[in-house]
Amino acid sequence: MAKKISRKKAIRNLGAGAALLTLTPHAFANSLKNAKRPKSDSQMNHSVCQWCYSSIPLETLCEAAKEIGLKSIELLGPSQWPVIEKYGLTCAMSNGSSLGIERGFNDPDNHAQLKKDYLDLIPKAADHGLENIICFSGNKNGLDDKKGIEYCSKGLEPVVKEAQKYKLNIVMELLNSKVDHPDYQCDHTEWGVALVDKLGEDNFKLLYDIYHMQIMEGDIIATIKKYSNYIAHYHTGGVPGRNEIDETQELNYKAIMKAIQATGFQGFVAQEFIPKGKDPLASLQQGVSICDV
């Protein structure tokens, strides 16, 4: 990689074809040839976040995903769902509102637009057999945590209730405010848990991003065990740097996956690291293999 790109910037540039990674046809062929599928008795459902591979055509990524043994490519919108469906894949976590990460449910000024966006998206997601749609708290902008929960709960209530009708989950992502998303409000597990409790609806849960929560609070395995009932989805990423999840970083992902499995989790674990090696698909396969317990 010539340079590191944040998720926020990558998402903003997806439509413009951001040069995040370069993969030649020869390298792609070698990646598929060497791909190792998850073991047949695997209990993990594997996914990948498309933005980490945004310079690879989506259909090419679908081919690789099938070879590697993934069931999902995620953080996609409605126009992209038919593409992955051609390959027998699902989108385990759909994109949400176009307002993005910084303008979320903690600001009442955003509620009308967010409601419009989600009420338009929910039936479309249901028609495609999806189960989860992502949402964000937004940045604090001086708002205290208690008020943030109150405003988020008020704005989310009609969205979550509409999603119930379609048997869909609305899922708020936990992000770090220390490195990648300054001022983001839902930056600690306990804040997210308090919001889930405030809403009190079974179809509103958390996306526990392991990379982000290692940066903010650590204690990953104990937190997963304590709050497993609040978590609908997991993301990976190496700390520090958000690169490969192998021995180059500080987390033991094999142990983390075993802890997740022990909770009885039946959802998806998605790779969300930015490959820095010459063969990004080999890095993806390696990440899946590490998480395949």
pLDDT per position as a tens digit, 240-287: 999 999 999 999 999 999 999 999 999 999 999 999 988 999 999 999
Burial of 164 (0-12, 13-18, 19+ CB in 10 A): middle
The CATH code that applies to domain 47-291 is: 3.20.20.150
- Pick the residue with more confidence: 142 or 32? 142
The pLDDT of 216-224, averaged and rounded, is 98
* Domain chopping of the chain, boundaries: 47-291
The share of the chain scoring above pLDDT 90, in percent, equals: 84
Q: What is the pLDDT of residue 30?
A: 57
pLDDT digits (tens, 9 = 90+) for 151-181: 999 999 999 999 999 999 999 999 999 999 9
Is pLDDT at 209 greater than 60 in this prediction? Answer: yes
Is pLDDT at 4 greater than 80 in this prediction? Answer: no
Question: Residue 43 — pLDDT band, cuts 50, 70, 90?
Answer: confident
Is pLDDT at 97 greater than 50 in this prediction? Answer: yes
Is pLDDT at 2 greater than 70 in this prediction? Answer: no
Question: Residue 34 — pLDDT band, cuts 50, 70, 90?
Answer: low
